[in-house]
Structure 1
Amino acid sequence: MSTTTFTIPEGLPYVGASLLSTVFLITGQTIIVGLRRKAAGIKYPQMYAEKAEVEKSVDALRFNCAQRAHQNTLESIPLLYLTTCLAATKFPIVAASLCGSWVVARVFYTRGYVTGKPEKRIWGAEFGTAALIGLLGTATYVVGSAVKAQLGF
């Protein structure tokens, strides 16, 4: 049985900080959804306001937008965590910077979306997508290089 040595790269605490910031992001979004739910009078377990409720109430529309921003973030988080962790094995500063950029973009995305005007989320969405693509490219390079080395290329 062979042994493999794994060296923790310098700069890894930055990765931890950037990943931890996602907890604050998601917690903030959860609070916003709760406040918007209360303002709209939407009871649990109803996930979104119905079309008729939205047509009658701007608060119901804002609740739906807040809920969607939160759900979309939750859908993206596994991709962010995986690509950040993989990229960080060789490029921790790059990984932390891109992850942190994604979080900042998500703040702008959320702030724009919860206005009830979904088009205001676009800047945050585009910037966040660019950060995630950067992480995907970096993680792919790291994994590809490791596989190539294992195969002897």
Structure 2
Amino acid sequence: MTALAGLPSDFGYVILTAVASAIMVGYLAERVSFARKAHKVEYPTFYSPDNQLFNCFQRAHGNTLENYPQFLMLLFLAGIGFPRASSILGVIYIVGRISYAHGYYTGDPSKRMRGVYGYIGLLGLLGLSVTNALRLLEFI
């Protein structure tokens, strides 16, 4: 018996979504590296005191990292009972984070709101996770 035996057969979609999210985080990190070089912001400087555009790149990545653990936890918890729906919601979140970052990359922080639809994915995962908990507790 493997460790995966208790998971639904469609859980592979959840795993692929998690892998896609790791690629997304790597992509955002790469964008910060390129911005650091283009704007001549040397390590270990985290935020530039005089380069707002670089700071927008750094903040888009930083905010994504701040929310990443919750996303992964909810993706896996929701995926146990709803693997396909969780994967779809996870992809919505990932694409929303990319839109968020590209809005931020304009240098106008208000344009980060272009990715606000990603919260549909995150809140959906939250709802499915709670539903799984209530099912396990036999409340529903």
User: How does the TM-score come out when normalised to structure 1?
Assistant: 0.84
Query: Which of the pair is proportionally richer in helix?
Result: 1
TM-score by length of 2: 0.91
Paired amino acid for 1:47: F
Q: Work out whether 1:37 is the aligned partner of 2:47.
A: no
Residue in 1 that maps onto 2:124: 134
Match of 2:103 in 1: 112
Q: CA-to-partner distance for each residue in 1:52-103, whole Å, 9 max, x for gaps?
A: x1xxxxxx21210010010111011111111111111110001111111100
Name stretches of at least 5 consecutive residues in structure 2 with no aligned partner: none
- Residue 148 of structure 1 deviates from its aligned partner by 3.1
Deviations 1:102-135 (A, max 9, x none): 00111111111111011211020x2111210110
**Greater Rg by CA:** 1
User: What letter matches 2:28 in structure 1?
Assistant: Q
Corresponding residue for residue 96 of structure 1: 87
Partner of 2:19: 20
Q: Distance in 2 between matches of 1:72 and 1:109?
A: 10
Deviating beyond 6 angstroms after TM superposition, the runs of 4 or more aligned structure 1 residues are none
Equivalent residue number for residue 78 of structure 2: 87
State the alpha-carbon separation in 2 of the partners of residues 129 and 116 from structure 1.
Answer: 22
The separation in 2 between residues aligned to 1:10 and 1:100, in whole angstroms, is 19
Identity of aligned residues (%): 32
Shift of 1:8: 1.5
Aligned twin of 2:66: 75
Q: Which residue of 2 aligns with 1:57?
A: none
**Aligned residue number for residue 8 of structure 1:** 7
